[in-house]
Amino acid sequence: MRASFVFSEVLTGLRRNVTMTIAMILTTAISLSLLGGGLLIVRLIDKMHDIYYDKIEVSINLTKDVSANDQKCTQQPCTSIRSSLENNPGVESVVFEDRNRAYQRFKEIFEAEPELVKLARKEALPASFHVKLVDPSRSDVIVKSYSGQPGVRAVNDQGVFLERFFGVLNGVRDATFAVALVQALAALLLISNTIQVSAYTRRTEVGIMRLVGATRWYTQLPFLLEAVVAGLIGAGLAIGGLILAKVTFLDRVLAAPISSGIVPPVNMLDILLVTPWLLLVSILISAITGYVTLRLYVRH
């Protein structure tokens, strides 16, 4: 009997303040959607880190004269550079790429841009060594050791580009979390106001219940559950929004980079793993805000 009473009081409270309830649900849903988006970005960064970290290379581009006159790397200084790299304990593998191979690889990469391929000249592309390291985080040692050596035009560290790229992704993640925090504060205020209004409109009923012996917790539990139910509905909308965004937006916009292996896909499993966190956050925010509001503003 008591459980049915509490349940009916929760439904009554949600219906009585329907506009504030809807506003609270929508604000909570937006906040949790942004939080879920940020968590998905974190998972995407982790996946991309796993994909690219082991593929990081250092490219040692040779000068024009070496690239033009030593196609097989059989003369000095090319042979000494190769020998030094192969005997370096920090180097896992070394691949020499002459101008012809560099030009072929350029055409393969930009196959979809025929005009760009036409403008490119084989003579403009240097021969190079592609160096894979045992520990990619130590790429700066190779860069310092071979920069400025005879026959070396430039040393390019792919890790620097990846750091900048991941920095951009981290910035997007941080911005998403910041907006989610602002929305969460708005949701807290709405939850607090909704509970205060709901308690005020039912102050007579609560007063009568206290007079006949109802405990403080028993009279305040419906208000607390109203906030939790609204938070869970908001979490459900947020999860549905993430699924909808994946199906209608991400899968289409990222179709090309996903198919080529540049960007890992966002799977339903990723959303499933994020879901418990969104539900937990919605329950905690709603319950804690409701409890604090009841303790501070509701005296019956």
Tens of pLDDT along the chain (300 residues)? 465 655 665 666 566 667 778 888 888 898 899 889 888 888 888 888 777 776 778 888 898 888 888 888 888 889 998 999 889 888 888 889 888 888 888 777 667 666 666 766 777 788 888 888 888 777 788 888 888 888 888 888 877 777 787 888 888 888 888 888 888 888 888 778 777 776 666 555 555 555 555 556 555 667 777 788 888 989 999 999 999 988 888 888 877 777 766 778 888 999 999 999 999 999 988 888 877 877 776 554
**pTM for this predicted structure:** 0.69
Instruction: Residue 265: give the domain boundaries.
Output: 2-52+163-297
* Burial (Cβ within 10 Å: 0-12, 13-18, ≥19) of residue 231: buried
What six digits make up the tokens of 163?
A: 């750091």
Closest by CA position to 187, among listed 234, 243, 226: 234
**Inter-CA distances, 207 with 188, 222, 233, Å:** 26, 14, 30
Q: Of the candidates 124, 150, 176, which is a domain's last residue?
A: 150
Q: Using the 3D structure, point to which of 127, 150, 173 is the last residue of a domain.
A: 150
Domain count, the chain: 2
249 and 168 co-located in one domain: yes
- 227 and 93, same structural domain? no
Nearest to 283 by CA among 237, 241, 232, 233: 232
Do 181 and 264 reside in the same domain of the chain?
A: yes
Do the domain assignments include residue 140? Answer: yes
In-domain check, residue 57: no
Chosen domain end from 95, 120, 150: 150
Which CATH number goes with the domain that contains 113? 3.30.70.3040
3-state secondary structure 230-249: HHHHHHHHHHHHHHHHHHHH
Identify whether 156 is part of a domain.
no
Say if residue 90 is in the same domain as residue 37: no
